Amino acid sequence: MLRQTVRDLTREIVEPQAMAHDESGTMNRGLLRKLGELGLLGVTIPEADGGAGLDATASVIVHEELAYSDPGFALAYLAHALLFVNNFYWAASPAQRAKYLPRTLTGEWIGGMGMTEPSVGTDVLGMQTVARKVGDEYVLDGRKIFITNAVEGDVFCAYAKLDERITTFVVERGTPGFSTSDKIPKMGMRASTMGELIFDGCRLPAGNLLGREGGGITNMMRNLEIERLGLAAMSLGIARRCLDVMVAYSMERRAFGQPLHELGQIQRYIGESFAKTEAIRALTYGVAATVSPDSRNRLGTDAAKLFAATAAKEVADAAVQVLGGYGYCAEYRVEQFLRDAKLIEIGGGTIEAHQKNITRDLTRR
């Protein structure tokens, strides 16, 4: 029923707005608010705290269905619901939850998360943003880049080094010394925006420490798995959409006196795309069933996102190829899905990071 509800919602209100936001490169704030009304911004938050109390599989369903129509918006949703809300919730104190949860669960406030820096991405331990304790306050200096929802965001989870130990802070827009950049133009996922978080002597009260001093890595690792599943689920939505478009087109379009799907070269694209889509689905849902706040599956989530990202990009590319000139044009939207799919090979862990993690885990004695 969750899937049917999100699918109806996607078909009726997400799909019609998607192309315009890809073109304008803007995030649909009203739509996120609508998702908040329906309780979709707190899928993984326990019922007692205003969420739905559902599991990683439910989160995967929502991401998959949203990405079928609008991967860019799904990314903004992920940055809000997982990178901020879920990340924040499991690290926060009751007082912090009371302060920030109500407004982020409704979508009144938009959240995001700051990890990557201009000169440090995958090598996250090398981050250069620093926090100093000055009296009762923490003072942050540094910059975060490629931050989804930076432009619209009202509140962020930000990572900084306090005495060389990575620590998480909650930063609200309007905090002295904190600002965000203009949006950074990008290739795909244009229905979400990306920008920089700039800390220039940003002064945070002690109450904005999230978790404990030096606890940043714990917070980061706890959240990383559900993030990867969300991105793998978005890859699945992208692949499913592109497969549907290429199959429908191959039945309508004729070449050499027969429907396109009668041609062996086209059959290869369709057949392989179907197999890849099914493989993404099986792996993603299989791994999702093993992940919860009490149960980890680092290797599985690395594998799911590593495989899903590239497979979905290949399916999107196949859709563009099957549609030929029409595929390269915007009308059928497969060129957009190809641009969008590429992001998942980079964001939330590059495919090289997943390869490195998997190999390290498999060769550990």
Alpha helix stretches (DSSP H) within 169-263? 216-252
Give, as ranges, the residues between 33 and 62 that touch other proteins (CB under 8 A). 37-40, 42-43, 47, 52-54
Q: How far is the CB of 12 from other proteins (least distance, A)?
A: 7
Q: Establish if 330 lies at the interface with other proteins (CB under 8 A).
A: no
Closer by beta carbon to other proteins, 104 or else 180: 104
Q: How far is the CB of 13 from other proteins (least distance, A)?
A: 9
Q: How far is the CB of 58 from other proteins (least distance, A)?
A: 8
Q: How far apart are the first and last CA of the chain?
A: 44
Degrees, nearest 5: CA angle 60-64-67? 140
Tokens, residue 329:
């044009």
Strands 165-172 and 130-134: unpaired
Q: Establish if 320 lies at the interface with other proteins (CB under 8 A).
A: no
Helices (H) and strands (E) in the chain, counts: 13, 10
Give the amino acid at 177.
G
In the block, residue with structure tokens 């499913």:
240
Determine the interface stretch with other proteins among 9-17, 66-74, 214-222, 353-361 (rule: CB under 8 A): 9-17
Spatial neighbors of 16 by CB under 8 A, at least 6 apart, are none
Count of residues that bind other proteins according to CB under 8 A: 18
Catalytic residue among 152, 227, 314, 345, which? 227
Contact 338, 235 (CB under 8 A): no
Q: How far is the CB of 31 from other proteins (least distance, A)?
A: 13
In the block, residue with structure tokens 């060129």:
335
Closer by beta carbon to other proteins, 43 or else 315: 43
Tokens, residue 67:
């990405």
- Torsion, Cα 35 296 280 107, to 10 degrees, reads 10
- Residues 62 and 78: their CA atoms lie apart, in Å, by 10
Determine if residue 132 is left, alpha or beta; phi over 0 gives left, psi from -120 to 50 gives alpha, anything else beta: beta
Q: Establish if 108 lies at the interface with other proteins (CB under 8 A).
A: no
By CB under 8 A, name the one of 5, 106, 179, 350 that touches other proteins.
5
Q: Establish if 4 lies at the interface with other proteins (CB under 8 A).
A: yes
Closer by beta carbon to other proteins, 64 or else 340: 64
Closer by beta carbon to other proteins, 42 or else 349: 42
Q: Establish if 9 lies at the interface with other proteins (CB under 8 A).
A: yes
To the query of whether residue 23 is one of the catalytic residues in this protein, the response is no
Q: Establish if 259 lies at the interface with other proteins (CB under 8 A).
A: no
Contact 357, 130 (CB under 8 A): no
CB-count burial class (<10 Å; 0-12, 13-18, 19+) for 289? middle
Q: How far is the CB of 244 from other proteins (least distance, A)?
A: 11
Tokens, residue 189:
């996922």
Strands 155-162 and 137-148: unpaired
Closer by beta carbon to other proteins, 159 or else 332: 332
Q: Establish if 2 lies at the interface with other proteins (CB under 8 A).
A: yes
Tokens, residue 154:
């009202």
Closer by beta carbon to other proteins, 4 or else 363: 4
Q: How far is the CB of 209 from other proteins (least distance, A)?
A: 31
Q: How far is the CB of 32 from other proteins (least distance, A)?
A: 15
CB-count burial class (<10 Å; 0-12, 13-18, 19+) for 76? buried
Determine the interface stretch with other proteins among 6-14, 16-24, 121-129, 223-231 (rule: CB under 8 A): 6-14
Closer by beta carbon to other proteins, 221 or else 248: 248
Q: Give catalytic residues, as residue numbers.
A: 227
Q: Which residues bind other proteins (CB under 8 A)?
A: 1-2, 4-5, 8-9, 11-12, 37-40, 42-43, 47, 52-54
